[in-house]
Amino acid sequence: MATSPLRTKNTYVRKIFIPVFIGVMMLVTGMQESRAQRIKVRNLPAYDLAPYHFGFVLGMNQMLFSIRTNPGFQDITYNSLQTPDLYSDSARLYGLEHKPAFGFTIGIVSNLRMGEYFDLRFIPSLSFGERDLEYAIITNFNGATNSILVNKKLQSTFVEFPLHVKYKGSRLNNVRPYWLAGGKYAVDLASDSRKKEENNTTYVALNRSDLYGELGAGFDFYTTFFKFGIELKMSYGLSDILKREGNIYTGAVDKLNSKLFLLSFTFE
């Protein structure tokens, strides 16, 4: 049976025109709603036009290590002089892990406006935290072997000097997303780099200073009286921070880098 031109036309209208029409109507409605949102009263409308502003930051950090071990480190045997705190004739390391812990960060925000979408930020901070290195060791004493776990706690107090370029997205009412990139110089005031072996205790020593590359993202919320921000940032140390002591705790490590995650809240 032949299909009538009218039916074909109706089918065409139903399958093509109606979806297009609905789509156009939704687009127009969305534009109207967006316009209505744009004309709402904004908090601190001229805030981002200021050449500079200040504030403070509070955050929770997680300190970690990135560890690269030497190939075949499990086959190396260390004598009693290289393991003074194990009380063994010899020992072998067969496993090494790091355990992160949570700490906190406080800092001062200094923000310089570079343009409509870019800022330069300097945020000197103080970060407190702890990281553990856990060593799985097989000891040999008078012909008897034993498997033990040795935990070395590494507490850190960082004085940090980060410098970031902040790219700000378009503001939607009282919310504005942003992304940042930069670097920082950090000094660990609690570093064990100057400690020596005392009372047969072997310290794992870290270098006191390091350079970091940093990436982050967040949201700024404009309230009636101040701007509140939530930010997630990752920092990665660029240099090997482990101080080699020629003992079982450092001999297996080819490279040890510092890594930090920071969830922060800014008040500006």
Rounded to 5°, angle at Cα 220 from 214 and 221 = 160
> Which of 267, 261, 268, 264 lies closest to 102 in space, CA to CA?
261
Kindly tell me if the per-residue pLDDT of 57 is higher than 90. Answer: yes
Torsion-angle region of 236 (φ positive above 0: left; ψ -120 to 50: alpha; else: beta): beta
Taking only the tens place, the pLDDT of each residue in 91-145 is: 889 889 988 889 999 999 999 999 999 999 999 999 999 999 999 998 988 878 8
- CA distance to 105, 155, 177, 230, 265, per residue, from 119 (Å): 22, 33, 13, 17, 18
Question: How many Å separate Cα 204 from the centre of its chain?
Answer: 24
Which of 21-25, 81-85, 231-235 shows the lowest per-residue confidence on average (mean pLDDT)?
A: 21-25
